[in-house]
Amino acid sequence: MAQIICIIGNKGGTGKTTLSHLLAHGLGLFGKYTVAVLTDIERQPLSKAGRNYLPFDARQSDNLERVVQKLRAVEQWYGVIDGGGNRPQMDTTLAGLADLVLLPFRDSHEDVRTLIQDLERFPQAYALPSQWPSNAWQLQAAMRTVENMLGRYRDRLLEPVYVQSATKLLLQHQLPAQLPAALNNTARMLALQVMELLAIPLPEDRWIPVPKQSADGAQRCKLTDQEQAA
């Protein structure tokens, strides 16, 4: 049976569609068969040409039901569903289908306030900082906001996906012949976090450390068992 990841949230503009394709691309880079499922009626379906995952148009409810049924009937596939914004009833429906729920939010108090409501509505969901600042001063301020407003949800906070202009390439109707290495690395890092949460095995020779952020914005890295022992 396939595993389904839903990227939802009542706040619009948090990057749900971009993250859906970024995650699907990252899973594809790890050799995982993945479908990126579009449910946002404000978006247009994308071509599968050149992608390592399959985009699927499920803006009609019968198409969503059909693709979920097909995914549930196959092994070693993954579905990444883009929920769109400002659709609380759809969020509830998708959360009920999901093996993992991600709630993206940007560095703004408005986003965080909406996120808190969604975290309460979906107690199994994880919060995903999206379009996160990479400037050192802005990053420190963002991390302080997270610590002050989301401290009690610390165990449900994932590592940020930093702002990167190249992510817009994934939303082109047809991909360019080659994607930037930085974009591929960002996609891998996001996919690795999801794979850890879903206990998806990864060969040791493809293990990648996930950068960790401390409250002051300084980066840390997860250590291998060998490094921890040392």
Residue 118, CA distances (Å) to 8, 142, 178, 201 in order: 9, 20, 37, 29
pLDDT at 208: 59
pLDDT at 220: 37
Measure the CA–CA gap between 107 and 119, rounded to whole angstroms. 16
- Residues 28, 52 contacting (CB under 8 angstroms): yes
**Residues recorded for the chain:** 230
- Residues 18, 36 contacting (CB under 8 angstroms): no
Q: Which two tokens stand for residue 56?
A: 């699927």
pLDDT at 136: 94
pLDDT at 222: 38
Tens of pLDDT along 181-205? 999 999 999 999 999 999 998 766 5
Tens of pLDDT along 126-167? 999 999 999 999 999 999 999 999 999 999 999 999 999 999
Measure the CA–CA gap between 192 and 102, rounded to whole angstroms. 14
Describe the strand order of the beta sheet including 77-82 as a list of residue ranges. 54-57, 33-38, 77-82, 3-7, 100-105, 126-129
DSSP code per residue over 47-83: --TT-SSEEEE--SHHHHHHHHHHHHTSSSEEEEEE-
pTM of the model: 0.89
- The residue among 148, 138, 42, 25 whose CA lies nearest residue 78 is 25
Tens of pLDDT along 67-98? 999 999 999 999 999 998 889 999 999 999 99
Measure the CA–CA gap between 42 and 123, rounded to whole angstroms. 28
DSSP code per residue over 165-179: GGGGGGGSSS--SS-
Count of beta carbons in the 10 Å neighbourhood of residue 38: 23
